Structure 1
Amino acid sequence: MKDLRLRLFLLGILLLWVGWARALEVTVVRALDGDTVVLSDGKRLRYAGIDAPELHRKEGPPEPLAREAWLLNRQLVEGRRLRFEPAARRRDRYGRLLGYLFLPDGRLVSEVLVSRGLAFACFWPGAARYREHLLAVQREALAKGRGIFGVLRDTDPYYVGNRASRRFHRPHCPHAQHIRRKILFHSLYEALYAGYCPARGCRPGFP
């Protein structure tokens, strides 16, 4: 009798685990750009911890290698059922889900994008679970000049970093004038190696 109860208990645990694992799988129906996808339930998922070049800009053409980032993202995830891990911060300010997708071989989709030089490893509060790993991958891509890391060029004698947001700005940018916790970088390489991301707006290194 005790053996039967134990078996039923273990079976229940197994079923709960299987149900939990399935609940953390999602199907991607469409990649919108290099770091955002649409899921089968219609929700949009923004990859936590990275920032791909802008494909859809309000003004001007796409940023360098934005199309390449989108195409790689499509190749990796469209039409596939993948493991999903939500970030500690579940949604961004636009209401999109925040989290991580994993390929069947265990690789993080964001890792592949960063390793090809098609996305930056970026810090966001509540979405930093794999930050150190992504930053290590970025440093390797940066050293080898892959993708965007071989395209960006220094446009200014120095850049102004924000220690709070881990973003860096061109010195003439309006936001740069109001940063309280500043750090100065003398090259794009220095800023990116330190784990700072180019700020939106007057984006450092972009035409």
Structure 2
Amino acid sequence: MKKVFILLLLFLCSCRSEEGAKLTVNAKNVPCKITRVVDGDTFRCRIDAEEITVRLIGVDTPESKENPKAKRDADRTGMSLEEITRMGREAYQFTKSLIPVGTTVYLETDVQLTDRYGRVLAYVWLPDGRMLNEVLLKEGYAQVYTIPPNVKYQDLFLSAQRKAREGKRGFWKQWF
């Protein structure tokens, strides 16, 4: 019986997820201190002693570097690769201005905790109470990118994008 207990304990310990081990599905107000902004919709932050990578739920910003996704986006939109990556750098700078290194943000998770790359999927609340995901859409630096089952704020995001497009804010004023 003791061997079974030890084997069970070892198994449970080995099932721990590397990213987001302290997070759970539908968590709210989890403080996370920014350590690096990766691009317009991805950053690294620290929860206690653990550093994680966070990907914003429901939004997609252009790629800031040439890669296969940037090339697909250029083909899909008819824009040049240079235009796509320029927009990506602008989105990166905008995100970086909202969450500079050292800022504490608050994570809210949804139904699916991580993506296939092991990044924590989250809605991110800024210290002033605004949601980063929504701000990027409102200001025209991102497009709605809904992947079920994480759809909690889908209607809010669609409304924010529509208003940015109608108001020709951010990318909507220059390229669309």
**TM-score, normalized by the shorter chain, greater than 0.5:** yes
The code of the aligned residue for 1:124 comes to I
The count of corresponding residues between Structure 1 and Structure 2 is 133
% same residue: 31
CA-based RMSD of the aligned residues comes to: 1.9
- Report if aligned partners of 1:65, 1:147 keep a CA contact under 8 Å in 2: no
Deviations 1:45-73 (A, max 9, x none): 00000000111222654534211111111
**Cα pair 2:61 2:143 within 8 Å, conserved:** yes
Supply the AA of the counterpart residue of 1:127: N
The answer to whether the 8 A contact 2:91-2:142 is kept is yes
Higher relative contact order (Cα pairs below 8 Å, separated by 6+ residues): 2
Please report how far the alpha carbon of residue 152 of structure 1 lies from its aligned counterpart in structure 2 after TM superposition. 3.0
SS at match of 1:91: coil
1:118 is aligned to 141
Aligned residue number for residue 190 of structure 1: none
Distance 1:57 1:89 in 2: 29
Q: 2 CA distance for matches of 1:106 and 1:90?
A: 22
Deviation readout 1:88-137 (Å, 9 max, x if unpaired): 11111111110111012211001111111100012111221111111111
Number of the residue aligned with 1:84: 107
What TM-score, normalized to structure 2?
0.69
Structure 1 SS opposite 2:32:
strand
2:62 to 24, 28, 53: 53
Consecutive unaligned residues in structure 1, runs of 5 or more: 1-19, 154-207
- Asked if structure 2 preserves the Cα contact closer than 8 Å seen for 1:43 and 1:96, the reply is yes
Label 1:21 to 1:46 Cα distance change in 2 as closer, same or farther (>3 A).
closer
Does residue 94 in structure 1 map to residue 103 in structure 2?
no
1:104 equivalent to 2:110? Answer no
CA distance in 1, matches of 2:28, 2:109: 13
Cα separation, 2, equivalents of 1:87 and 1:57: 30
Does residue 146 (structure 1) correspond to residue 169 (structure 2)? The answer is: yes
Using the size of structure 1 for normalisation, the TM-score is: 0.59
**Offset at residue 29 of structure 1 (A):** 0.9
User: In terms of Rg, which structure is larger?
Assistant: 1
